[in-house]
């Protein structure tokens, strides 16, 4: 392997922890994008005592009272390569093993649940320019309070995970970089299913849309889906040496979206927005064959979305644009989840 002096030698590896906060050996590698910001974030306290003749803060009276690590990890969303492990921890899904569909094709159904007891060990390898040696930065007790998926015209689909970790250490040995072979990222061209309307139903733990949903004909050139799970991330207590305890959900989670569109018609979004009603929304990316004519798939289903904005204005002589925002809600059925993310790939494990 070539050792570069900069980010070309950087690496990212993760593994699920058996006990929250107890680091494990990382085993699964991912190709992260530039813009990664995960970093050690100590809280410094400067002594405020007054000493005759001294006008500045004294180094000897500065202490660290808390430690943590926070930041974002962006990556391209691939058609295989254990993205289900990230989704499980980002969504709080209960899935443990993918289900075989046929031959080499396996599906995963992720629906939101509690993140209690779920945590990751994350290790980044960062290259020191002076010797081109990749140095380890290992984070334990990693939770994912929020994530954001996006895909725009002429771009590859991306997902960004916001990480809240207990601590960082440089003492854990760098794991050998290991990646899934053959990963092909989903792209804007793979958005083969985009519908509104119909009827959502859930059977055997999987949600589908029936009842003749309407294919969106509006020219949408970008989508962003964002999920936020507020968490108590400052659970510091006596006897823990400034290290937090497990982060728990402490407020209502939200999942929202934005569609950047031309103003093509009133029926796709505006009429539902104006009527203040809810509708199912489905967006799926697919390509290739995971096995026995089952395409690789990344699918989002929202049984009840409410469009919060869909207004059209005239900025000039060009085609009119329509910025559509939506939020997903519990549809009150008692059976359908607030949202579902489905993967079909060749991954036999998360």
pLDDT in tens, 135-148: 999 999 999 999 99
Predicted local distance difference test score (pLDDT) of residue 291: 98
Predicted local distance difference test score (pLDDT) of residue 1: 79
Predicted local distance difference test score (pLDDT) of residue 299: 98
Predicted local distance difference test score (pLDDT) of residue 3: 87
Residue 312 and residue 301: Cα distance in Å, rounded? Answer: 26
Give yes or no for a contact between 231 and 247, defined as CB atoms under 8 angstroms apart.
yes
Q: Which strand (E) or helix (H) includes residue 86?
A: helix 83-91
DSSP assignment of 207-233: EEEES-PEEP-S-EEEEEEEEE--EE-
pLDDT at 2 over 90: no
Predicted local distance difference test score (pLDDT) of residue 157: 98
Predicted local distance difference test score (pLDDT) of residue 85: 98
The confidence band for 281, taking pLDDT boundaries of 50, 70 and 90, is: very high
Give yes or no for a contact between 278 and 329, defined as CB atoms under 8 angstroms apart.
yes
pLDDT at 114 over 90: yes
Give yes or no for a contact between 61 and 32, defined as CB atoms under 8 angstroms apart.
no
What is the average pLDDT score of the chain?
97
Report, as an integer, the average pLDDT of 292-301: 98
Residue 148 and residue 256: Cα distance in Å, rounded? Answer: 10
Give yes or no for a contact between 342 and 83, defined as CB atoms under 8 angstroms apart.
no
Report, as an integer, the average pLDDT of 264-277: 97
DSSP code of residue 42:
P
Percent with pLDDT over 70 in the chain: 100
Could you report the per-residue pLDDT of 13-62, keeping only the tens digit for each?
999 999 999 999 999 999 999 999 999 999 999 999 999 999 999 999 99
Predicted local distance difference test score (pLDDT) of residue 230: 98
Report, as an integer, the average pLDDT of 308-320: 95
pTM higher than 0.75 for the full model?
A: yes
């Amino acid at each position: 392997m070539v050792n570069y002096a900069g980010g070309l030698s950087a690496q990212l590896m993760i593994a699920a922890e058996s006990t929250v906060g107890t680091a494990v050996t990382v085993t699964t590698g991912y190709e992260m994008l530039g813009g990664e910001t995960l970093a050690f974030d100590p809280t410094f306290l400067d002594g405020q005592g007054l000493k005759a003749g001294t006008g500045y803060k004294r180094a000897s009276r500065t202490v660290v009272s808390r430690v943590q690590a926070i930041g974002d990890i962006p990556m391209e969303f691939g058609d295989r390569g254990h993205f289900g492990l990230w989704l499980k921890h980002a969504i709080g899904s209960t899935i443990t093993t993918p289900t075989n569909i046929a031959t080499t094709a396996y599906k995963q159904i992720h629906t939101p649940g509690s993140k209690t007891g779920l945590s990751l060990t994350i290790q980044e390898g960062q290259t020191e320019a002076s010797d081109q040696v990749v140095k380890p930065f290992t984070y334990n007790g990693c939770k994912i309070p929020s994530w954001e998926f996006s895909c725009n015209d002429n771009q590859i689909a991306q997902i960004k995970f916001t990480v809240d970790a207990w601590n960082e250490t440089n003492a854990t040995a760098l794991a050998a970089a290991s990646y899934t072979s053959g990963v092909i990222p989903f792209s804007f061209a793979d958005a083969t299913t985009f519908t509104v309307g119909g009827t959502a139903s859930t059977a055997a733990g999987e949600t589908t849309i029936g009842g003749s949903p309407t294919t969106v004909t509006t020219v949408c050139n970008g989508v962003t889906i964002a999920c936020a799970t507020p968490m108590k991330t400052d659970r510091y207590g006596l006897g823990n040496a400034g290290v937090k305890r497990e982060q728990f959900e402490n407020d209502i989670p939200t999942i929202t979206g934005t569609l950047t569109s031309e103003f093509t018609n009133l029926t796709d979004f505006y009429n539902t927005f104006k009527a203040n009603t809810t509708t199912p929304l489905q967006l799926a990316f697919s390509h290739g064959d995971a096995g026995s004519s089952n395409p690789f798939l990344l699918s989002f289903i929202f049984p009840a979305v409410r469009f919060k904005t869909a207004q059209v204005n005239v900025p000039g002589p060009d085609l009119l644009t329509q910025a559509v925002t939506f939020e997903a809600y519990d549809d009150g059925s008692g059976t359908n989840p607030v949202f579902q993310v489905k993967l079909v790939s060749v991954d036999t494990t998360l």
